[in-house]
Structure 1
Amino acid sequence: MTLKTSRRGFLKSAAAAGAVLMVGLRPDGALAAGSETAQLNPFVKINDQGRVVAIIKHFEKGQGPATGLSTLIAEEIGVTMDQIDYEFAPSNAELYANLFFGGFQGTGGSTAMANSFMQYRQAGAAARTVILEAAAQAWGVEAGSLDIVDGMVTGGGQSAPLGDFVAAAAQLEAPAEPVLKTPEQWRLIGNPQVRRLDSEIKGNGTAMYAMDVHLPNQMVVMLARPEQSGGLVASFDDSEAKSIKGFIRAATLPNNAAVAVYAENTWAAMQSRDALSVEWDLSAAETRDSTQIKDEILAALEGDAEYNVTKTEAGPMDQAAQVVEKTFYFPLLAHAPMEPLTCTIEANEDGGVTLHDGAQMPTGPHMALAQILQLPMDKVRINTMLAGGSFGRRATPNADYQVEAALAFAITDRTRPVKLVWSREDDVRGGMYRPAFGHKVKVGLSAEGEILAWEHRIAGQSIMKGTAFESMMVHDGIDHSSVEGVSDTPYTLPGFRVGLTDTQKATSTLWWRSVGHTHTGYAMEAMMDLVAKAAGRDPVEFRLAHLGDSADAKRKAAVLKLAAEKGNWGNAPAGRSQGIAVHKSFGSFVAEVVEISGNPDDGVQIEKVTCAVDCGIAVNPDVVKAQIEGGVGYGIGHVMRDEITLTGGVVDQSNFPDYEPLRIGDIGAIETHIIPSAEAPSGIGEPGTPPSAPALANAIANTGVIVANLPMINDGVEFA
């Protein structure tokens, strides 16, 4: 993982570019004399007591970057995890861009550690170097004879807290090539005893989320939106709302997409919104039922593909001794994070505004607020808060809910803060969804059970087309997120052909935890099991036989073997069934064995999930295990029972009673094993999700039910 600039170029130019935004910084990036806290570079601040603060450019929605990136800085400086704090970076793409997103500041695609690993280590190493140089000058010794251990500068027969040298260090130029610690010197990176920095505040209730913002004199805004995607406001009557205590006013947003109801508190806003009478213009709205959408996707699988994704020669399907064929359907899915969407805008004394938000993609709302409120970019500030989950929902390309808040704020006199609040029902019924997809897979086998041809058709609703990410993710008309996990599979498959057809979107679509891998991983791994059984071979052995000598294939084989070993593959207790799946996503490799009891008619119980993961260097093993557990629960929880359905374009589900999340009793145990690696860190927030559902499906298939029409309850599977 490398930077696009040299270390010198990064450390000097980045600090200089942000000097105007960092109070007390000299143009060369060092802190001016007289400050109590020195910001030695864009990612490291240290006060005169030796307390280190890591500036975290990736927001925290539960996936752990606040701990992971702080670990890198603490390791390189030489402090303990008890001696470092963190704060979220301001919105400044010049300094804090995601290196995988070009000039865009944001968190997503499981890239936080992957794109920041070297960047944060270099920042910590540069801070250590200037502190040691300052100490060397003070003591009259060589800097090379000194070290920092647990926050103490030691060497030359002397010892002192590093805070004693912060002011002098702030006057020194960052080194051209800061020397990084070697893996043999690591005390924190890879240490399973390192625990999360945010556990205490989340446990004692002091953690501040966007929903917790309550500013003096604020107004709460809730929006009345059309039930059908694409509807617009024609007119409204708020006469009944005016009688509700706390109601302030109602107004149509400038884009006619909703009616904003302003009130003194959230309850009054809810009650006032319910009292509105709104006439909707539905001339351009979605009117299809889910059955029509499904029929259109399945029909698209039968015709010629719109795009030829692979360029390989077609295999000799007509020479196959047997053909294994299956069609899979994946419905719309909601993200349903625990904290519904919310953000607050307030005016600043300098004529600008501050957005308080669990900002997953700060650059988007920053630009949107500047445009809507007609402010220069430097007059818009974003205070990034903790977020209670996201799973992709807070990373909208069009900054949807922040735009709503900005429009609602713009049509006031801007003297009172405006807090936009979405209810759970707003999110489930009127949000953005994992798009619906269909897969039709046809595999020809020789008489000896060898694959001769693999024909794979995919049809569904593009996520990336029409967004700011189109240039990066769409090539030759092919949205890569629609086919990832199939077109780039590490399996060696003779006669492998993939085709894609885009279908009309039923709603607003959005990436969902693991994006395209959420359906491609299922189709590939469920099909591998079906083909293995048709060939009369063990599913693990069959997979290994189709993994070659490439680096990816070897890593995929390693996790597959480890999961099989730790999951006691092939030796399930009496009355139990096992299923296995393995998948690469976001640079990481995860294999899972699901062990179940019961049967689809009387109720399936998931007894255990055994996972093996290769995510490169596991900076925080405790966080890695937590993310795998969360990914397993998220993937399995949704595939068991969940779907978003439409009737006449109206979403049928509204809250957790009819869009049911995973319950604590649904999975008996999850066991995670991490493969030691010297490879650069790769993603971990999402890779646990793709193999979880097909591993469960493959276990159920052993009881006689092949699940291809999701969710599983739609194929007659009951759960205990």
Structure 2
Amino acid sequence: MVDADSSPRLTRRDLLRVIALSSGGLALGWVWPARAGTSETPAPSQFEPNAWINLHADGRIQLRLARAEMGQGVMTSLTMLLAEELEVGLDQIQIEPAPIDPVYTNHLLGEQATGGGTSTRDGWETLRAAGAMARTLMIAAAARTWGVPESECHAHRARVYHADGTRSLGYHELVTTAAHLPLPTTVTLKPRSEWNLIGTEQPRLDTPLKVRGAACFGLDVRLPGMLYATIERCPVIGAEIRTWKGQAARATPGVIDVFVVKQGIAVVAETTWAALSGRARLEIECRPLRNAAVTTKHLRARLHLGLDGRASVALSEGNVSRALAESALEIEAVYEVPFQAHACMEPMNCTADVRPDGCDIHVPTQSPAATQALAQRLTGLPPERIRVHTTFLGGGHGRRRELDFVHDAVELSQRLKRPVQVIWTRADDLQHDYYRPMTLHRLRAGLDATGVPLAWFHRVVGPSVLARRDPGRIRDGIDPLMIDGATSLPYRFAHRRLEYRRADTPVPIGLWRGDGHSHNAYVTECFLDELARAGGQDPLALRRTLLAESPAHLALLDRLAEHWAAPLPTGQGRGLALVEAAGSRLALLAEVAVEDGRVCARRFVAVLDCGQVVNPDAVRAQIESGIVFGLTATLKGAITFSDGRVEQTDFGDYPLLRFDEMPEIESILIDSDAPPGGVSPIATPAVAPAVANALLALLGRPFRSLPIRL
């Protein structure tokens, strides 16, 4: 990684390696095609030194944003990285979506996609180097114009100044000269001491658009001649439509047609209201092919079978069996985590315009490259004829890395030969999601005579997320996503064993905020508090003991110590949890009360070490949003099944946290020179164990299943 504080000098080869894909494409990765050959003269009105920046002679500076803005603030933080090195203000940059191209691959995900708290981590060197290259060329162009050494020039707010204090040129005046210069052989990144933007609180660039109603989300897209469609699906998992009657639906004013598509029965209309009204008048009889009798009880029983018997070993240190047998006290517990929906504020939707000569897709997606690939398979068009226009996303959390809603729109537009916007209802969203998987966990630990754990055993039982998404990553029967967080447990045990027992269910599952950390952090951190209680240890002190060899984690607990020791009001409990994910570490303290038979979260204190903080305000917002998301999953809803179908249909039976239930949140950010870590996935997994541990302290009994019920 580049250490910017020591003013690193990146060679041209380093730049190519940083930006390009790991296999080939170096010229494309760093130099835009027009720059690849010296004989080609760029257009004098603009200058594209690399794939991310376009400098115009009229003063416009454009950044191509290759990550989706879904509320996490990447539009601002990624622009800050480029603007810092380019020496321009955020107010001087225009942002446009990047096209689909291997150069924009997110190397932490292996595709052009957004998710997992990877955007800033992936762009940390890439965008800074891109800005530094353009700045270097602007300074070189000014030096050549004035006939002075480059060392006598510096840049600030899109202008180059000479040391004599009398001469300056704007970037727009240097476009033509810079376009004819050779690429620099080295680029120097600014040291931290010279940063003007990185590490400062900057207002989000997307906020004015959203406040004015000018931000375009997927449901805001309007195209000439566009139709609206909605699809009725069989509610039973794995069922197919046996018979259907569409006469009444067709007779609905505004409905144009009703017909069968891959996912069900499509109702196409002139307006959204007409499409939904027509759908309500459909008569459908489904034939269950399987799973007709599936209930949550049956699914739970299936997973319980995996608690015993053989399992794949993901990690083994020491001799756990012997240590348990020789321990002064052995503790065992079984934890359960339910299916959870994504419940994005903006339901799934997509607008497609398929023509013989091309295809345009307007969609709130986390995976534009995969969207293009799907459209290519469906239409047979070459990829260069398929344009994906990524809109703002009204929430993602992994759901919008799926492509089912894209398939709907492309299929319908291709058939109808007109632009079509497919809309999902809230019931569609909840009943046809790719859910956070249900899991069961068996944990055993052995304590020595002083109450310190010597042996730790953890078996994860649940379906495989990667079996559908990326089966090649499964090795020796182990899905690495399902044991995320359990593998990298920071605590030191003399004897430790981690197992995974795959137990697939018919329920479709997928990525969810925090992925495996969302269930593993809950069970490991709760079990640790159970061990502390059984061994007569203070939960924070026990963690200190087990983290004696990890100063980075101890630093988090040091910052929490004052809050942990503070007096608590009568009737409240205090708990904590520690999570490491996406290259970041978080310690979370929760203070809860019980009122009228329900749990009330009063206050959270979060201490975060996420490396170098790009925009502190955005980081705090991510902590807060992660806590809200986690509280909903901890205290509110779960996806349950009866007769093969999801029982929840809207926010009435899948409730979200309300405004009047919002706790006080204090966020403490640890200063660091390390490269940035991810923030979006880390707070959510910490909420459930922190709340459960607070209830353990308050009520004296563990809470081993979610959502928490008193």
Category of TM-score, reference length = shorter chain? over 0.9
Cα offset for 1:584?
Answer: 0.3
Cα offset for 1:442?
Answer: 1.3
The CA distance in 2 between the partners of 1:337 and 1:217, in whole Å, is: 28
Query: Do structure 1's residue 539 and structure 2's residue 547 form an aligned pair?
Result: no
Partner of 2:145: 138
Partner of 2:471: 470
Residue 548 and residue 18 in structure 1: after superposition, are their counterparts in 2 closer, same or farther (change >3 A)? closer
RMSD: 2.2
Partner of 1:310: 315
Cα offset for 1:18?
Answer: 7.9
- Of residues 454-463 and 48-57 in structure 1, the stretch that sits farther from structure 2 once superposed is 48-57
Opposite residue 445 of structure 2, the aligned amino acid is V
The CA distance in 2 between the partners of 1:148 and 1:55, in whole Å, is: 22
The CA distance in 2 between the partners of 1:694 and 1:624, in whole Å, is: 21
Q: 1:91 aligns with which of 78, 95, 100?
A: 100
- Of residues 376-385 and 25-34 in structure 1, the stretch that sits farther from structure 2 once superposed is 25-34
Q: 2:559 aligns with which of 557, 562, 565?
A: 562
Residue 697 and residue 405 in structure 1: after superposition, are their counterparts in 2 closer, same or farther (change >3 A)? same
Secondary structure of the structure 2 residue equivalent to 1:324: strand
CA contact (8 A) 1:556 1:584 kept: no
Partner of 2:528: 528
Residue 65 and residue 286 in structure 1: after superposition, are their counterparts in 2 closer, same or farther (change >3 A)? farther
Partner of 2:6: none
Cα offset for 1:29?
Answer: 9.6
- For residues 448-597 of structure 1, the aligned pairs below 5 Å read 448-467=450-469, 469-472=470-473, 474-549=474-549, 553-565=550-562, 567-597=563-593
Secondary structure of the structure 1 residue equivalent to 2:279: helix
Partner of 2:188: 179
Cα offset for 1:554?
Answer: 2.2
Secondary structure of the structure 1 residue equivalent to 2:683: coil
Deviations 1:498-557 (A, max 9, x none): 1111112231101110001001000011111111111111111100100142xxx32222
Partner of 1:40: 49
Partner of 1:402: 406
Residue 529 and residue 29 in structure 1: after superposition, are their counterparts in 2 closer, same or farther (change >3 A)? farther
CA contact (8 A) 1:593 1:610 kept: yes
The CA distance in 1 between the partners of 2:152 and 2:337, in whole Å, is: 62
The CA distance in 2 between the partners of 1:214 and 1:640, in whole Å, is: 39
- For residues 60-99 of structure 1, the aligned pairs below 5 Å read 60-92=69-101, 94-99=102-107
Deviations 1:327-383 (A, max 9, x none): 1111110000100111111146x8001110112111211111011111111111101
The CA distance in 2 between the partners of 1:176 and 1:404, in whole Å, is: 49
Query: Do structure 1's residue 323 and structure 2's residue 330 form an aligned pair?
Result: yes
CA contact (8 A) 1:31 1:39 kept: no
CA contact (8 A) 2:354 2:414 kept: no
CA contact (8 A) 1:29 1:41 kept: no
The CA distance in 2 between the partners of 1:321 and 1:522, in whole Å, is: 26
Runs of 5+ consecutive residues of structure 2 not aligned to the other structure:
3-9
CA contact (8 A) 2:19 2:103 kept: no
Opposite residue 60 of structure 2, the aligned amino acid is R
- For residues 131-530 of structure 1, the aligned pairs below 5 Å read 131-157=138-164, 158-192=167-201, 194-253=202-261, 255=262, 257-285=263-291, 287-301=293-307, 303-312=308-317, 313-315=319-321, 316-347=323-354, 351-396=357-402, 399-412=403-416, 414=417, 416-467=418-469, 469-472=470-473, 474-530=474-530
Opposite residue 182 of structure 2, the aligned amino acid is E
Opposite residue 105 of structure 1, the aligned amino acid is Q
Secondary structure of the structure 2 residue equivalent to 1:411: helix
Secondary structure of the structure 1 residue equivalent to 2:69: coil
Cα offset for 1:174?
Answer: 2.6
The CA distance in 1 between the partners of 2:538 and 2:85, in whole Å, is: 47
The CA distance in 1 between the partners of 2:13 and 2:360, in whole Å, is: 32
The CA distance in 1 between the partners of 2:39 and 2:517, in whole Å, is: 44
Cα offset for 1:654?
Answer: 0.8
The CA distance in 2 between the partners of 1:298 and 1:387, in whole Å, is: 38
The CA distance in 2 between the partners of 1:30 and 1:89, in whole Å, is: 27
Residue 604 and residue 142 in structure 1: after superposition, are their counterparts in 2 closer, same or farther (change >3 A)? same
Cα offset for 1:221?
Answer: 1.2
Query: Do structure 1's residue 701 and structure 2's residue 688 form an aligned pair?
Result: no
CA contact (8 A) 2:548 2:554 kept: no
The CA distance in 1 between the partners of 2:424 and 2:169, in whole Å, is: 52
The CA distance in 2 between the partners of 1:30 and 1:83, in whole Å, is: 32
Deviations 1:459-510 (A, max 9, x none): 111111132x3324x2222001111111221111222111111112231101
Opposite residue 411 of structure 1, the aligned amino acid is R
CA contact (8 A) 1:38 1:46 kept: yes
Q: 1:645 aligns with which of 636, 640, 643?
A: 640
Query: Do structure 1's residue 121 and structure 2's residue 128 form an aligned pair?
Result: yes
The CA distance in 1 between the partners of 2:136 and 2:312, in whole Å, is: 54
Cα offset for 1:423?
Answer: 0.9
CA contact (8 A) 1:19 1:25 kept: no
The CA distance in 2 between the partners of 1:48 and 1:191, in whole Å, is: 30
Deviations 1:653-705 (A, max 9, x none): 01111111111222331110110111111111111111111111111111224
Opposite residue 366 of structure 1, the aligned amino acid is Q
Cα offset for 1:563?
Answer: 2.7
Partner of 2:5: none
Deviations 1:580-629 (A, max 9, x none): 11110111101111112335x63332221000001111111111110011
Runs of 5+ consecutive residues of structure 1 not aligned to the other structure:
none
Query: Do structure 1's residue 56 and structure 2's residue 65 form an aligned pair?
Result: yes
Opposite residue 406 of structure 2, the aligned amino acid is Q
- For residues 682-701 of structure 1, the aligned pairs below 5 Å read 682-701=677-696
Residue 18 and residue 258 in structure 1: after superposition, are their counterparts in 2 closer, same or farther (change >3 A)? farther
Residue 10 and residue 584 in structure 1: after superposition, are their counterparts in 2 closer, same or farther (change >3 A)? closer
- Of residues 324-333 and 516-525 in structure 1, the stretch that sits farther from structure 2 once superposed is 324-333
The CA distance in 2 between the partners of 1:518 and 1:183, in whole Å, is: 34
Cα offset for 1:285?
Answer: 4.4
Residue 403 and residue 480 in structure 1: after superposition, are their counterparts in 2 closer, same or farther (change >3 A)? same
Opposite residue 17 of structure 1, the aligned amino acid is L
Cα offset for 1:323?
Answer: 2.0
Q: 2:631 aligns with which of 629, 636, 640?
A: 636
- Of residues 68-77 and 11-20 in structure 1, the stretch that sits farther from structure 2 once superposed is 11-20
CA contact (8 A) 2:16 2:29 kept: no
Deviations 1:36-91 (A, max 9, x none): 33322111122224332221111110111111110011100111122122222112
Secondary structure of the structure 2 residue equivalent to 1:577: strand
Cα offset for 1:95?
Answer: 1.3
The CA distance in 1 between the partners of 2:79 and 2:526, in whole Å, is: 39
TM-score by length of 1: 0.92
TM-score by length of 2: 0.94
The CA distance in 2 between the partners of 1:273 and 1:317, in whole Å, is: 60
Cα offset for 1:560?
Answer: 2.3
CA contact (8 A) 2:45 2:58 kept: no
Partner of 1:677: 672
Cα offset for 1:130?
Answer: 0.8
The CA distance in 2 between the partners of 1:658 and 1:31, in whole Å, is: 63
Deviations 1:94-119 (A, max 9, x none): 211111233x2111111111111100
